[in-house]
Amino acid sequence: MLIATLAIVAGFFLLIWGADHFVEGAAALARNLGVPPLIVGLTIVGMGTSAPELLVSGMAAAQGNAGLGIGNAIGSNITNIGLVLGATALIVPLRVNSRLLRKEMPVLLLAMFFAWLLLADGHLQRLEGVLLLLALAAVLVWMAFTARRAATREPLANELELPPSMPTQRAAGTFLIGLIVLLGGSKALVWGAVDIAHRLGVSDLVIGLTIVAFGTSLPELAASIVSARKGEPDIAVGNVIGSNLFNVLGVLGLPGLIAPGRLPHGVVDRDFPLMVGMTLLLFLFAFSFRGKERIINRLEGGILLALFLGYEIWIYFSL
């Protein structure tokens, strides 16, 4: 048990370190190859905080533990809304006034309902995994098109601080090192999580929903708190919305593509409805029907955090 716990802790640190270097190297390489900064911001930088979830989900599915990857996707979204935004709003109330952000939130809801419709039969088949990944590609294209047409600083990619430029050779080395560390960290994390799940007699899904989801959401928590304290609340909220889009379409789609099969018990009737419900609640807290800025205050942040803690307690007593 001790070795498995150390593997999980080491895996978390390696994932965070690897994701930072992977994004830096990939972004610099893309810009050196002539890719517009806008596209770099929306894709490479945008998916940077979701890289740990993507790698863990893919690695878990490849090793026959698809439940851990599915739980990681759903649990990370619940953690991002309840813990990340809830805790951030408790520290610094979040002002939301970006027009593009108000467009992305309905897209996130549509993506979740689309995924829920595909999973309603209790199975995640390869075709459904492909459809989720294609939907992610379509969302990225839409975001790029929308951001390109905007004339102000509304695009989320323009507000994200791009990594510094570097020579192509150094960028390639940084990219490869980051990727190798990401793969190693995800492998260590999956091995440790599966080992603890088996020793405790709980399912891979539960470990994915709790321990793994919390660990892989640490980059979002750090990024959101830093952004909010710097007076850039749109980035804090947009970071979570973008990450959740990647999770529900990309991270959830990978297990279907790699290891299709029946969904673990509780996904369709417990975990997915809660994720959708918390997203709807975030939408109500953040959206202004009058077109003015809206503040997610400390009370609302406390409600989101309380829902997250209640869910964790619910999972514990349902073991």
**Which CATH homologous superfamily contains domain 2-317?**
NCX, central ion-binding region (1.20.1420.30)
pTM summary value: 0.83
Instruction: Tell whether the model's pLDDT for residue 6 goes beyond 50.
Output: yes
Separation CA 46–CA 136 (nearest Å): 12
C-alpha dihedral, 21 to 26 to 31 to 37, nearest 10°:
-80
- Which of the 8 DSSP states describes residue 149? H
C-beta separation of 71 from 274 below 8 A: no
pLDDT band of 158, cuts 50, 70, 90 = very low
H helix or E strand, kind and range, residue 101 = helix 99-119
pLDDT tens track for 279-308: 999 988 887 665 566 788 899 999 999 999
pLDDT tens track for 171-204: 889 888 988 888 888 888 888 888 888 888 888 8
User: Hey, where are the domains in the chain?
Assistant: 2-317
Query: Would you call 214 exposed, middle or buried from its count of C-beta atoms within 10 A (0-12, 13-18, 19+)?
Result: middle
Q: What angle do CA 50, 56, 58 make, to 5 degrees?
A: 100
Separation CA 143–CA 148 (nearest Å): 8
Residues 6+ apart with CB under 8 A from 9: none
Provide the b/e sequence for 55-87 (b: ≥16 CB within 10 Å). Answer: bbbbbbbbbebbbbbbbbbbbbbbbbbbbbbbb
